[in-house]
Structure 1
Amino acid sequence: MQKNILFGQFIEQDSLIHRLDPRTKLLGMVLMMVSFLALRTWVDYAAATAFVLIVMGLSHISIWMYLRTLKPVWFILVFTWTYNAILTPGTTILWSWSFISLTAEGIETGTVVVWRIGLMILLASILTLTTKPLALALGLEKLLSPLSRLHVPVEQISLMVVIAIRFIPTIMEELERIMLAQKARGYDITALKLPKRLLAYIPIVVPLFMTTIQRAEQLSLAIDARAYGNGKGRSSYRVLRLTTTDFRAGGCTIGFIFVLLLLSGG
């Protein structure tokens, strides 16, 4: 399952994106995601897609790897498109049945919404696939460090966020193990029809929930055994330093966002 669930995993490569400071990638990702909310026309979406594809190419990771990160959320994307396509009111009705109607405006709305979500997922995948979890935690901690003056536990928040991202593949692997165990007992969920399949996932939630709690407890004990504490004042083997490449990458990102806002009329 870990080969199928790539989100949250790090892939070692010697690329420009891998060498960037995690703070640069974090800020760039957040700014780009915010700018995606201002997308309005097809030209805006095409420009944003081109930017994401360029960054994906600079990471030296196969584009099929990135597309596989969309596989776990395909159902959400399809549901989102269908929901918007059917329930968005419009004047051009393409198909109707009872109170349900498919309109051209609904199809356009569903397409742009799914397009925007897909771009955001790909951006997040670029961050996780090109950044080591510990470096990501350190970068997030440095970015949030000003909040420590307000007594915000930034060290614990950073560790919590990175652990949550990192354990997504682990939880999905545990889900596959449970499904394989049921399949070995003659109960194949994948062979069921969609309505029954959704109900069949309910008994899986209980053992998955229990194993997740056990893993969380073991991780908590491991952190306590290493005297992590609240994380304040801890030193790091790797010291983050912004280089000329980081400033250039940040400048290019801000410049593209500015152009994108001009295109969208913002």
Structure 2
Amino acid sequence: MANTVLLGQYLETNSIFHRLDPRTKLLGLIIIMLSFLMLGTFLSYAVATFFVISILLLSKIPFYVFAKGLKPILFILMFTFIYNVLFTKGTVIWSLSFLEVTAEGLINGTRFVWRIVLLILLASILTLTTKPLTLAHGLEKLLSPLSRINVPVEQFSLMIVIAIRFIPTIMQELERILLAQKARGYDIAALKLPQRIFAYIPVLIPLLFTIIQRAEVLSNAIDARAYGNGKGRTVYKQLQFQQLDYWVGGIAVLFATTLILLELGGL
């Protein structure tokens, strides 16, 4: 299960994204994601999809990695689609008792699911092509101006990166607990969907206990290495923008501008 999680993993494929400065990837990701929030027409969705697929190809990461990574959020995608289909007012195309399916609901549900998938795939490129420590250093550099107003930038950057990095670890612990229950004759996967949802509630207690234990061990490890508040710490590899970073940053801005113009033009 941990191997099916996109966020928090790193894969070395020697692509152009692996060679980019983490600040370029962070800023480019923010710019493109903000433009994705404005998607509304079919043409803009098609352009955004083509752009994301191109990025996936350039990352040289196999497509099955992304396909497996979307499995854990299938329930969220299904819930989002069904909620929009059933609770969006409009032209009714099918009804059963108090349930009504509208044409506007189908369109909105498809748009929301489509957008969520694009955003997740785009965000996964950041973690799949950037090492956690490099990502933390890049985030710290971007937020460094806030340190002038006594914002704990170093601690905030470390906290964000650790949270992202521990997503696969948490999923691995969940898988271990489920395997332990299965070995005792209790297979949650064999239950029906409504029963399966409630069956996960008892799993949360040992999972939370394990997460707290890991957090305590990590805290002790950080203290043992005298990390402190992180201020004034040096790094072996200094970040420096290259020509490739400027090209990629310009493409990100150009693409976001194109999407905005498509929306404003109503195409």
* TM bucket normalised to smaller: over 0.9
Aligned partner of 2:255: which letter? F
TM-score (norm 1): 0.98
RMSD between superposed Cα atoms in Å: 0.9
Please give the alpha-carbon distance, in whole angstroms, between the structure 1 residues aligned to 2:4 and 2:259.
33
Aligned partner of 2:238: which letter? V
Please give the alpha-carbon distance, in whole angstroms, between the structure 1 residues aligned to 2:31 and 2:229.
29
Alignment of 1:34-183 (within 5 A): 34-91=34-91, 93-183=92-182
Secondary structure of 2:18's partner? helix
Secondary structure of 1:241's partner? coil
Per the TM alignment, residue 129 of structure 1 is displaced from its structure 2 partner at its CA by: 0.3
Please give the alpha-carbon distance, in whole angstroms, between the structure 2 residues aligned to 1:72 and 1:241.
36
CA contact (8 A) 1:7 1:128 kept: yes
Query: Residue 252 of structure 1 corresponds to which residue in structure 2?
Result: 251
Question: Which sits farther off after the overlay, 53-62 or 204-213?
Answer: 53-62
Secondary structure of 1:80's partner? helix
Per the TM alignment, residue 66 of structure 1 is displaced from its structure 2 partner at its CA by: 1.6
User: C-alpha offsets along residues 177-235 of structure 1, whole Å, 9 cap, x if unaligned?
Assistant: 10111111111111111111111111100000000000000000000000000001110
CA contact (8 A) 2:5 2:70 kept: no
CA contact (8 A) 1:171 1:212 kept: yes
Query: Residue 227 of structure 1 corresponds to which residue in structure 2?
Result: 226
Q: Identify unmatched segments of 5+ residues in structure 2.
A: none
Query: Residue 190 of structure 1 corresponds to which residue in structure 2?
Result: 189
TM-score (norm 2): 0.97
Q: Identify unmatched segments of 5+ residues in structure 1.
A: none
Secondary structure of 2:213's partner? helix
Is residue 2:20 matched to residue 1:11? no
Secondary structure of 1:265's partner? helix
Per the TM alignment, residue 103 of structure 1 is displaced from its structure 2 partner at its CA by: 0.7
Aligned partner of 1:245: which letter? L
Aligned partner of 1:256: which letter? F
Please give the alpha-carbon distance, in whole angstroms, between the structure 2 residues aligned to 1:67 and 1:259.
28
CA contact (8 A) 1:69 1:125 kept: no
Per the TM alignment, residue 25 of structure 1 is displaced from its structure 2 partner at its CA by: 0.4
Per the TM alignment, residue 68 of structure 1 is displaced from its structure 2 partner at its CA by: 1.9
Aligned partner of 2:148: which letter? R
Query: Residue 210 of structure 1 corresponds to which residue in structure 2?
Result: 209
CA contact (8 A) 2:6 2:70 kept: no
Per the TM alignment, residue 3 of structure 1 is displaced from its structure 2 partner at its CA by: 2.3
Please give the alpha-carbon distance, in whole angstroms, between the structure 2 residues aligned to 1:50 and 1:6.
20
Aligned partner of 2:104: which letter? E
Secondary structure of 1:228's partner? coil
How many aligned residue pairs are there? 265
Aligned partner of 1:9: which letter? Q
Aligned partner of 1:134: which letter? L
Please give the alpha-carbon distance, in whole angstroms, between the structure 1 residues aligned to 2:28 and 2:221.
33
Name segments (4+ residues, structure 1) moved above 2 Å. 1-7
Please give the alpha-carbon distance, in whole angstroms, between the structure 2 residues aligned to 1:112 and 1:6.
22
